[in-house]
């Protein structure tokens, strides 16, 4: 039975609109497991360029960074700055709602539903972080989970043991994982911290913002392995 299989994960993702979460209240604040894909989060820091229907082979043919990549480190201003501030305001309100679920032990925000038949691929740029090729099932209108966007609203989740951000265009870096370790004392598993496809190959060949192939683990992953080796990274 499904109830007896603790490892069971539903094939179809459960989805909620970000504004629906903001404008509603939880029917129950005692839940211990929250598994839901949060939709329609504005992400002006993301540029997604379709590559069409291509057949991927190993090693993965990395698309070169576009002209905009060289400007990724330039501070935002004007309309882009306003859009980023508005996005962070929405995300903070969503995270504030999630932060009310103080009994949570498992928070699953990532994607696990996919169809391998002829997926569409695109060139994804996450401003200031990296450029990579992803398929259409990679979540780009999701929470970025940075401290700037409101991660600190989850400080009350002291029972949290597992975080799942698989196939999400998150912006979790060193300061975020250090915050998690400090504020979630029972944290034992983080799934999806590295940008990887569920087959563990495609997104592992991502390039950084300078366009060079990454050969070592990112700084935030190295920090966890060195300082909290008991936390499992998937």
Note whether 87 and 41 are within 8 A (CB): yes
* Residue ranges making up the domain that contains 84: 2-233
- Distance between CA atoms of 121 and 52, rounded to whole angstroms? 6
Number of domains in the chain: 1
Rounded CA separation 37/120 (Å)? 20
pTM: 0.79
Rounded to the nearest 10°, the torsion over CA 37, 17, 182, 103 is -80
Task: Name the 3-class secondary structure at 118.
Answer: coil
Q: At what angle do helices 174-183 and 219-227 cross, to 10 degrees?
A: 30
For the chain, the residue count is: 234
Q: What is the pLDDT of residue 158?
A: 98
- Residue 66: predicted pLDDT: 37
Listed as ranges, residues in the chain with pLDDT below 50 are 1-8, 10, 55-72, 197-215
pLDDT at 117: 62
Return the structure tokens found at 114: 């996919």
For position 196, what pLDDT does the model report? 59
At 73 the pLDDT is 52
pLDDT for the residue 92: 97
């Amino acid at each position: 039975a499904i109830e007896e299989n603790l490892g069971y994960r539903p094939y179809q993702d459960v989805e909620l609109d970000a504004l629906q979460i903001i404008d509603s209240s939880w029917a129950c604040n005692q839940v211990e497991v929250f598994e839901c894909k949060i939709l329609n989060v504005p992400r002006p820091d993301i540029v997604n360029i379709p590559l069409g229907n291509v057949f991927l082979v190993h090693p993965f043919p990395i698309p070169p960074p576009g002209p905009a990549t060289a400007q990724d480190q330039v501070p935002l201003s004007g309309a882009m700055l306003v859009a980023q501030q508005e996005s962070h305001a929405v995300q903070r309100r969503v995270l504030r709602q999630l932060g009310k679920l103080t009994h949570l032990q498992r928070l699953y925000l990532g994607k696990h539903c996919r169809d391998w038949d002829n997926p569409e691929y695109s060139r994804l740029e996450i401003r200031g972080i990296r450029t990579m090729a992803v398929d259409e099932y990679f979540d780009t209108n999701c929470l970025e989970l940075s401290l700037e966007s409101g991660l600190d609203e989850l400080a009350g989740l002291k029972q949290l043991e597992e975080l799942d951000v698989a196939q999400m265009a998150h912006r979790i870096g060193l300061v975020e994982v250090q915050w998690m370790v400090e504020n979630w004392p029972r944290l034992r598993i983080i799934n999806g911290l590295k940008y990887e496809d569920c087959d563990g190959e495609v997104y592992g060949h991502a390039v950084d913002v300078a366009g060079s192939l990454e050969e070592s683990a990112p700084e935030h992953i190295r920090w966890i392995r060195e300082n909290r080796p008991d936390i499992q990274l998937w």
